[in-house]
Structure formats: structure tokens, C-alpha cells
Amino acid sequence: MLFAHINLIDKDFQYRENQWVGVEGSRITYIGDTAPDEASAARMGKLYDGENKLLMPAFYNAHAHAPMTLLRGYAENLPLQSWLNDSVFPFEAKITPEDCYWATLLSCAEMARYGVVSFSDMYYHMDQGARAVIEAGLKANLSDTLIAFGETRLKDLPLAENHKRLLRYFQGAEDGRIVVDCNIHAEYTSNPAAVADVVAFAHEHDMRIQVHVSETELEHEECKDRHDGLTPVQYFNNLGVFDGPCTAAHCVWVDDADIEILADRGVFVAANPASNMKLGSGFAPLAKMLERGVRVCLGTDGMASNNNNDMMQDMYLFALLPKGDMRNPALITPQEALFAATRQGALSQGRSDCGMIEVGAKADLCVLDISGPSWTPMTNPLVNVVYAGHGSDVCLTMCDGRVVYEDGIWPTLDIDQAKYEVSSRTQRIISEL
């Protein structure tokens, strides 16, 4: 594809008008003020008219539970522990592998609709998740979940064989679109020995780790009671979780000492402002983290607690909440918010050649329609993207050079069947409870 006369947000998160951007195969091969030569243009194929459009890096959802699309609207107005133990866990016990496939496929459709090309997922039946992601044409870092109570070790759980199977069949599949990670659900749903087992396995197989950390005040304080005053960050740090690449989701209740550890160990923190606010957990101290140099990215969390995959909604909250919390309107620039939602998310997944509009980078792109009234005037285009834009403004999403959504059409999947399957499967599960 050759994007012609299109405005763009470049690799330095600066706005540039009337550009030409060429894509060949899975990568960006041309960026310029003028059209490429005739031979190059011919290789790029379809010409895309960029009038009243804005081209930007696609979004990377750094924390998700894609199959939880099945629970959208199911468990509402409940505190997290009751939400989890009384509603979510019983529902999840009824979810089959095929349920996970269809729910992940619909999540992929929704993400593509909102300009998301890749997500980091923590759940179960990840072979079915991989199947859905591959069919949808997206990317994902997929991780099967460790929950280990009592003295249970990794070797005692089906997860041990699941890890090996996922590595054998899916690690690096589809030219690297599928990456297999490890994950630890949380401190309160695991034991130190099992956590150490997962860390050892991840190091042995050069895998990244995903983990929930300090999502609620209760979780944070009870961890200190159980482990001689150690916070979840300190606890996981002592067990080696942060010795390799790690994404810690939420981090709402971290203290200053925790932030120092997260920064010093290079941990990626996946902020989930919509989910955390909806569950009444609060929100992460983003301004403090960014000031200290923590690598903050952005996620939606699951659809039982958000309830949508619109990353632009989360980006808006990411930029807005610290200003109100600290009473400082200068906190969180549009560039910082966009970086967290795009490039930093890609880096959290180990995708170093993604998340930016640069020659040689993967062609992970989304196009926004900026002809609507909320986009005028364009006094500061980046401010418009963060504070006036919506996921509904996305009119094209491209992953690895392949269009996965354009103007109400999903060329890689049957959206009506996916919607039907998820709706009927949710009804079945509710009837079984």
C-alpha cells in the first residue's frame, strides 16, 4: 500500500503534514514529502488517499484477558475480591477451549476496530488463543496462567505441559506474530516455590513474564502481612521475577520504594486506568513512575472490568488522571501518552522493530479520520489525538503490512459469526451457574 498526501505522527512523535508512506510486505519502505519513484510505487500496490486522514503507529495493548469478552457486562458494581471470587472465577470454571477461541476472535475484531494490532494476554487454553490471533491477522504475547495454592509446584500442574506445548507449536509462529510468555496471576494466588519454578522455566527458555502486582490496597497490605512486610513488588523481586523481561500489570498501590525497584530493574508497568477506576481500585501513580524513569505502557485489562478495547479511551484517562490527582495540568504530555500506548507497548512485548513509523519498521499502522467536528481546529494535532480522538475515528488498521480492518469491514474474519458465537456461549455459561 502507498499512503498518499497523508498527515502522520513520526517516530519522534512529531506531526508532519502531506506525507507519502510506502509499505511492501510487512515493513515500511518509504517515507517522504514527495511520491516515490514510479518503479517503487508500482511495488507498493494500492494507492490510499490520505486527504483528511492521520497515519499513526498502531496501538499495543500491554495487558489483556481476551477470552473475558464472554463476561462483558456480567459482573458489575462489585469490589474486586468479590467480583473475582464470587462472580468471575465461577464463570471461568465453565469456559471451554472452544469458548476461548471465539471470545479471543471477537476481541481481536474489536481491537482491530480500535487500531490495536498486538496484545499481551494472560488466560487459559492459549493454544485456542493462538489459533484465533493467527486467523485474525493480529499479534499477541500469550501466556497460560499460574495459579498455585498451598504447596503446589509447577510440575504438579497441567501448566507445566501447557508451557512446553505452546513453545513447541507457537513460539515465533507466523513470522513472529505469536510470542509465548509465562505469567504468574498474582502473589495472593500463588506460593513462593511455584513462582520460583516459573522464573526458572522462563529463564531456561528465554521467555518474558507477565504478572499482576498491587492492583488493590487489600492485595498490597495482605502481602505485607504474609511476607514480613514485603510489598508485592519486593516479594516478586526477591524471587527473581524481575531478573528477566517482565510486564507488571496495574501497580496501583506501589510505594516510592517499589517505584525505585521497578525503575532500577527495567520492569514494564502496564497501566489500566479504565479497569482500575471501574473496579474502585484507584489508579497507578503514573507521574511519579514516569519521572523516575519507569517504563510505563498501557492496557485495557479484560472486558469484565473495562468494558471495551478502545485504547484511545484508556490513553485519554492515562493523560488526564495524574493532572487531577496531583493538581498539576503540566503532567503527562501528549507525546508521553502516545508513546505509552504505542512504542512502549511494543517494547514490553519484545517487539523492538514495532510501534513507530520509520523505514524498516514493521508496518503496524492505523489511520484516523480527522474530518469530523471534534478534530477542528488542529491547533495541536497531538493534543487532538489524545483528548478529542476516539476509537471510532479509526478507519483502517494494518498489522505487519496486512489490512485487518477498514471502514467497517474485517477482511480476515466473519464478524457476524464471532458475535453470534460469543453471545450464545455466554448465555450457555450463565444458564449453567
pLDDT tens-digit map of 109-130: 999 999 999 999 999 999 999 9
CB of 118 closer than 8 Å to CB of 422 = no
Domains recognised in the chain with CATH numbers: 2-57+354-406 (2.30.40.10), 59-348 (3.20.20.140)
pLDDT of residue 75: 87
Q: What does the pLDDT average to over 82-98? A: 93
The pLDDT value recorded for residue 84 is 83
* pLDDT for the residue numbered 329: 96
The position carrying cell 513472529 is 176
Per residue in 268-290, pLDDT (tens digit) is 999 999 999 999 999 999 999 99
Helix (H) or strand (E) holding 160, with range, is: helix 158-170
In the predicted model, what is the mean pLDDT of residues 173-182? 98
Closest CA to 211 of 91, 62, 61, 87: 62
Residue in this structure with the C-alpha cell 521467555, named with its chain if needed: 207
Please say if the pLDDT value at position 164 is more than 90.
Answer: yes
φ, ψ of residue 36 in degrees (nearest 5): -70, 170
Helices (H), 282-333: 286-292, 311-326
Rounded Cα distance between 26 and 154, Å, is 38
pLDDT at res. 83: 85
Quickly state the pLDDT bin for 80 (edges 50, 70, 90): confident
Q: Are 126 and 101 in contact (CB under 8 A)?
A: no
pLDDT digits (tens, 9 = 90+) for 284-307: 999 999 999 999 999 999 999 999
Average pLDDT over residues 100-109: 98
Cell numbers placing 90: 465461577
Which tens digit of pLDDT belongs to each residue from 148-158? 999 999 999 99
Residue type, 260: E
Per-residue pLDDT for 166 more than 80? yes
Please, what is the average pLDDT of the chain? 97
The pLDDT, as a whole number, for residue 127 is: 97
Cell digits of residue 142: 500469550
The secondary structure of residue 306, as a DSSP letter, is S
Question: To which residue does cell 489524545 refer?
Answer: 386
Sign of the torsion formed by the C-alpha atoms of 121, 124, 135 and 421 = negative
What are the pLDDT digits (tens) for 398-422? 999 999 999 999 999 999 999 999 9
Give the whole-angstrom CA distance, residue 79 versus residue 85.
Answer: 10
User: Which residues are CB-neighbours of 256 under 8 A, at least 6 positions away?
Assistant: 288
Enter the DSSP assignment of 35.
P
pLDDT for 45: 86
Please tell me the predicted confidence (pLDDT) of residue 328: 96
Q: Rounded to whole angstroms, how far apart are CA atoms 411 and 90?
A: 35
